[in-house]
A and B are shown apart, each in its own frame.
Chain A
């Protein structure tokens, strides 16, 4: 959000309060706040809100005696093997398995091979497509042809040297004008 009267945005000021900016920007904003009432007031408000939240959490924790029995309850569940039950969260949270160097190496080789294979297939398909077009323009009506993945082509026929412009959408019939 832009702070219209200052060169620093409110996001910057908020991040400054959290100490999350680089050293240079921290220093610049620190100097700026000494001179700018509006930005100083904004930072003061964050500080007061943080203070309120801190007092809330301190009181909340000290009044919550229920957690006193948490470890005992956990121990019972562990003894009953409840921790071994599967839940949907196990799939959501990433619990990384240690991978051996061999698996890392094999993964890299496989990825490179897949990229090469994909490139070869792509180049050869493009070449086949071009050949088909040049032959069909000379011999058949283009109305019935269907091509996919190409939005437009400009082509010259071999016989009468006319320019052919094809416009068509992906996976749709060709509209042509000669």
Chain B
């Protein structure tokens, strides 16, 4: 942490290596396409780099990092939503060639498209409401505690407990044939 705050690039590189997959997963769960998730992951780490000097260590570094990743992803999601479908396609068109576009607009991830179970899990996650998907990712995939989730999402621990239960119930319903 001391090295990070002092601007040590090697320490920052290690932080990126350690958490990039987890941050990417949070972003992907919200944005549901890999390119936007990649941008959000970059943005989140850039903000950590910029603001690490102000980090007061009242929470753990990864809770802080996840909180940033969550808000960055939500911000991108809202911007895309405001854009509307046609503008979004134009935006993607201007940034990527058509082969990539096809993949990005409606994506199962590259992993899921080659794996039936993964595809089914991804579709089930897609069916969940935004709130349920976020909380399942933070708890089941990132392994965060209720108090960490409560801090990241800005909700009480009681709400976390209840929301996790309902999210699990819905997920079990969608994944019934695999249980």
Contacts and interface: CB of A to CB of B under 8 A. Distances in A.
Interface of A: 1, 10-11, 14-15, 18, 20, 45-46, 48-50, 52-57, 59-61, 63-64, 66-67, 70-71, 73-75, 77-78, 82-84, 87-90, 92-93, 95-98
24 contacts: A1-B165, A1-B166, A1-B169, A18-B139, A18-B146, A20-B145, A45-B172, A46-B168, A49-B168, A49-B172, A52-B117, A53-B121, A56-B117, A56-B121, A63-B110, A67-B24, A70-B38, A70-B42, A70-B45, A74-B46, A83-B46, A83-B49, A93-B67, A95-B54
A49 B171 contact: yes
Given A52-B117, A75-B9, A89-B68, 4 more contacts: A11-B162, A15-B161, A63-B110, A89-B75
Given A67-B21, A70-B41, A56 B56 contact: no
B17 A71 contact: yes
Given A53-B141, A60-B25, A67-B20, A98 B54 contact: yes
B153 to A, nearest CB: 13
Given A71-B13, A92-B71, A20 B118 contact: no
A80 B75 CA distance: 23
B140 interface: yes
A93 B68 contact: yes
A117 B73 CA distance: 44
Contact of B47 (A15, A56, A66, A83): A83
Given A45-B172, A49-B168, A82 B72 contact: no
A77 B46 contact: yes
A40 to B, nearest CB: 14
A105 to B, nearest CB: 18
B110 to A, nearest CB: 6
Contact of A60 (B109, B171, B172): B109
B101 interface: no
Contacts of B17: 71
Contacts of B45: 70, 74
B39 to A, nearest CB: 10
Interface string B86-119: 0000000000000000000000011110110110
B2 interface: no
Contacts of B171: 49
A103 to B, nearest CB: 14
A73 B71 contact: no
B165 A83 contact: no
